[in-house]
Each structure stands twice: as C-alpha cells, then as structure tokens.
Structure 1
C-alpha cells in the first residue's frame, strides 16, 4: 500500500521566517519599501509607530528616513511635510547621540537648501570634522547651489575654497553654477577663471552649460573684463606655450565685442564657422613638473636609488640637450622575431 507524506511548501516556510524578524529589522524592511516607492506618509506612519513601540533605532533607520525626506523635498506638494519631518528626524538622531555620517549630513544639507538656508547646509558640512568623517563633492552641492541661486557670490566662493581644501575637484555642474553666478554678478575675472577650469576638466559641455557661455559672451562678456590691457605679441605667445598651447592665462586682453555663432569642427580640426585650425594642447609647466615628479618617484621605487640620482644630476648638467635616446631600446627596436636580437648596427646609425 502506497503512502504519501506532506513536506510543506518551501515558499510558505520562507515567508514565515521573514515574519519572525525582530522589530528593528522589520522596521527597516518596511522603511526601505517606502523609500523605493517614495511614499513619505507611509514612512512617517512607520516612524511614529516605531517611537510608540520603543523600537531601537539605529543610524541606518535615520539615514533612510533622511534620504526619503530630502528626495521628496523637491516636490512642491510634499515639500512642507518633508522639511518638517526631515529636521525632526535629524534632531531625534542627535538626541540619541547617534553620530551622523556623510550620508546623514548630505541629506540634511539638501533639506536646508530646499528651505533656502545655504548657511545651515554649509555649517553642517563643517561639523563633519568633529566626527572624523570626510565630505564628498555631493555633500557640498546643496550649499553651493543654494548660494549660486541666491547670487550670494562670496559665500559660494567660500564653499568652493573649502572643496579645494578637502582635496576634491569640481565637475561640470558645480563649475557651470559658479560660472553662471559670476556672469550674473558681473565678475569678469571669475568668469575667466571658471572658463579655464571648464576647459581643463570637462571634455565637452552640456547644452545647459553652453547656454551660460552664450549668454555671457552675447551680453555681459562683450563689455565686462575688457580694460584695454595690451601685451607684446611675443609675450602672449610665450605665455601660450607655457600653458601647453591652449591659452595664455593672462586674463581678458584686447578690445572689442565677441562674435557668437554656432558652428561645427570638421574631422581635420578646422572650424567650419570661422575657418580657424584648432591646435593640439600639450600639458602646461605645472602639469609637466607633476608628471616629472611622478616618473621620478616610480624610478626611485623600481631602480637603484643611487643610479637614478646620478642620472638626474647628469641631466641637470646637460640641460642644453633637448632629447635623450636610449641606446638599448634602439638596439632592440623591431627585433621581436625568431632570429632577432640586439642590433649594434641600429645603435651605431643613431650615433652617426
């Protein structure tokens, strides 16, 4: 006689296991669901229930709530609720002596910026040092963009200075915001400065950044910054060479208005709009020195230090030479075949 046994549904047993999580884990699971669906009201309800039930809250719980509030703060309909609970959650977190991390500060900075309080956003970033936490570029964005939108130039420049002090580099959105701020407040030299930062760090600009540039050179740029400063042509050419051939670095020079037109660059590097040939830009003197130091550092690690120092001294004594040929590499050039080997003839030809 055949018998059958019921082993149960594996899916049901898995579900049962999930329902037996501790209160903290259940709260986090449901909170994450609210965060994914951008359901702020449901998240607030969960938060209030957790407080009533005396659920032990940790940094992850608070960060999830802060992130949701900061995200929703851009929605005009829910902005007020997001701001109210966002700051309340942060105050609760601090009351429990849970130290904020970079994510916490970024979220509260976004909430402060949504409220129009760039000063508070920047102040919170400065406090990160008290917790031995390093900010990221995104941490600075709320304060920087808030100051730029309110045309508070000096405060925006102060944020930029702090970003640089922390060893962080601006990207296109931040440079474009500072560029627009400088243009709208008529700070020609700052515009020039950010144009060069844009040139060095951005391969191509977005349409939004392009519009900022067009507006500047079409209106303010045609008048601001042209103080009639003149230089000898040879001096300007030397400055261009020092900077890699791309720009002179002397600020706004010359007189007259800019001609702003849209054009395309042909594959051969010629501008079909003005007919000028674009040139290749090399690294400037500062970048060259950094590159040389990097190469020297690698050589000191891999080679015998005394030998490399002797080589450096020899280079300094023979600084009039423009190029140094490595005889060993010349002798081995194109010798990677079965019968190949070191060719003395090739080295001799280079010496003759």
Structure 2
C-alpha cells in the first residue's frame, strides 16, 4: 500500500496490530503501530486500536507497559471500557499494585453498571490474594471519610483502602428492596458525585442562557450565590400550572401558595 502511494487507514493499522499482538513476542511492535499511526499516517487511533495491545500486555503481565498504553489512550482522548479496564485491573493485581487496582476499580465503577463474568473473576482474584489482605491504612480520619462519601454521592469515599486483613469473598443476591442476601444490610442509594453535579449545573445554565435574557439569568445566579443556605428553590408558577388545564391560560394561585408554604 505504501509503495503504491496509498496510506493505510486506521482500520488497516488496527487489523495489523491485532495480528501482531497475537504473537507472544509481538506486544511491543503492536503498540508501536498504534502509537505512531497519527504521526506517520495522520490516522487517529480508536478504542479498538488499543484493545489488542492491552490484551497482549495482559497476557504477558507487563503492568508498566499496560499503563503506558492507557496514558497514550488518554492523550488521544480515548476512554477505556470494561474489557480494557479488566485488562488493566488484572495486570495491576498480578503486579500487586494495590493503588492501581483501586484506581481501576473506581474507573470501572464509573464506566459500567454491571460487570461481566470475566471481570468479576478478576475482581475476586484480587480480593482473595495476599496483596489485597496486606493493602490498607491502619488509621484514618473518620470525619474525612464521611465527608468524602457525601461529596462523592454516597457510593464511595475514594480515599483508598481502609484497614487491612483478609477479605471475605462471596457471591450474593440483592432483593428488590435493596437488601443484601449476604450481610442482611440494605444497600444505600447512590447519588451523582460533585463532578457530575457541576457538569449538570453547567448544562442547565447553558440551556437557561439560551432561553432567558442573559442579564436576568445572571442576576438569578448572583441571588443564588448570596443565598447558599437554601437547600431548594421552588418555581411557584410552574407548580401552580402542574396538572392544570385552564383554557384562559391562568393557574391555581391556591396551589402555588400551598406549595410555597
């Protein structure tokens, strides 16, 4: 193709990388193909370009090289999905790198709602390992943990492993009401974290600025900033219009007054 003056496409390079990566000695060469496709041929690598490379380093257990692949993915604005995160988790677990295992577990939590059987086995393998039993802080600030849980939506403190010792690993079912069949506790609802909250707020602001006059909305934002103690702001007019059907266009003043009280 090159001799004929026809540069390869991303799909062609990815296919070649997949073939090369299948060879026990080909992982480094496969990564080189993917990592240089932009500079050599002007092609942007995609998720499918990196997957066979990560799978190859997963088989060889070369954690540092797998991390280099993820760094290149980030530089190319490509986010790993479950198969790629499972590969990174496994090489981290085999290397005994508790910090990296924790990092990829958090990324996996954000990326997927339910893991596959293969990924579940990777997680179980880590928690049954001696390295997992040894990982963890002996002391921590309980208030800091509580504050972090609230800030992260109630699902995870993201402060690393707390306490150490062997883990009890078992598969259980969760009832419709959230009760765990293993410990009998009821699982808590998880809210969006602060990053997601800010993203949502920015999106709402953007929509409001499109529909309202900028000056009016800016004044409202300033008012909100000055009244941070309020936990909720009620739109009385929309409440009064809720489930109303007045042909004249009016609304229920009584309903609005009652809701505001």
**What range is the shorter-chain TM-score in?**
over 0.9
1:44 maps to which residue? none
1:284 maps to which residue? 193
Unmatched 5+ stretches in structure 1: 1-92
2:21 maps to which residue? 113
> Secondary structure of the residue that 1:235 maps to in structure 2?
helix
Unmatched 5+ stretches in structure 2: none
Counterpart contact for 1:237–1:248, Cα < 8 Å: yes
1:242 maps to which residue? 151
Between Structure 1 and Structure 2, whose CA radius of gyration is higher?
A: 1
Residue 340 of structure 1 deviates from its aligned partner by 7.9
1:200 maps to which residue? 110
2:36 maps to which residue? 127
Equivalent of residue 181 in structure 1, options 60, 84, 91: 91
Aligned pair in 2 of structure 1 residues 166, 199: CA closer, same or farther (>3 Å)? same
Bigger mean CA deviation after superposition, 207-216 or 301-310: 301-310
Counterpart contact for 1:240–1:248, Cα < 8 Å: yes
1:190 maps to which residue? 100
Residue 225 of structure 1 deviates from its aligned partner by 1.7
- Please say if 1:266 is aligned against 2:175: yes
Counterpart contact for 1:236–1:248, Cα < 8 Å: yes
- Please say if 1:144 is aligned against 2:54: yes
- Between 1 and 2, higher relative CO (CA 8 Å, sep ≥ 6) is seen in 2
1:101 maps to which residue? 9
Structure 2 CA distance, aligned partners of 1:317 and 1:227? 40
Bigger mean CA deviation after superposition, 120-129 or 209-218: 120-129
Counterpart contact for 1:264–1:272, Cα < 8 Å: yes
Deviation per residue, 1:280-305 (Å, 9 max, x gap): 11111111111111111222223222
> Secondary structure of the residue that 1:168 maps to in structure 2?
coil
Residue 244 of structure 1 deviates from its aligned partner by 0.6
- Please say if 1:215 is aligned against 2:117: no
1:332 maps to which residue? 241
Structure 1 CA distance, aligned partners of 2:28 and 2:177? 49
Deviation per residue, 1:181-227 (Å, 9 max, x gap): 10011000111111111111111111111111111111235424224
Structure 2 length-normalised TM: 0.93
Structure 1 CA distance, aligned partners of 2:182 and 2:208? 47
Residue 327 of structure 1 deviates from its aligned partner by 1.3
Structure 2 CA distance, aligned partners of 1:222 and 1:158? 24
Q: How many residues align?
A: 259
Residue 122 of structure 1 deviates from its aligned partner by 1.7
Deviation per residue, 1:137-172 (Å, 9 max, x gap): 001112111112111111111111121222222111
Equivalent of residue 318 in structure 1, options 227, 235, 242: 227
> Secondary structure of the residue that 1:95 maps to in structure 2?
coil
Counterpart contact for 2:10–2:43, Cα < 8 Å: yes
Counterpart contact for 1:186–1:224, Cα < 8 Å: no
Deviation per residue, 1:221-260 (Å, 9 max, x gap): 54242242x2232221111111110011110111322111
- Please say if 1:308 is aligned against 2:217: yes
Bigger mean CA deviation after superposition, 152-161 or 342-351: 342-351
Structure 1 length-normalised TM: 0.70
1:226 maps to which residue? 136
1:164 maps to which residue? 74
> Secondary structure of the residue that 1:299 maps to in structure 2?
helix
Counterpart contact for 1:221–1:258, Cα < 8 Å: no
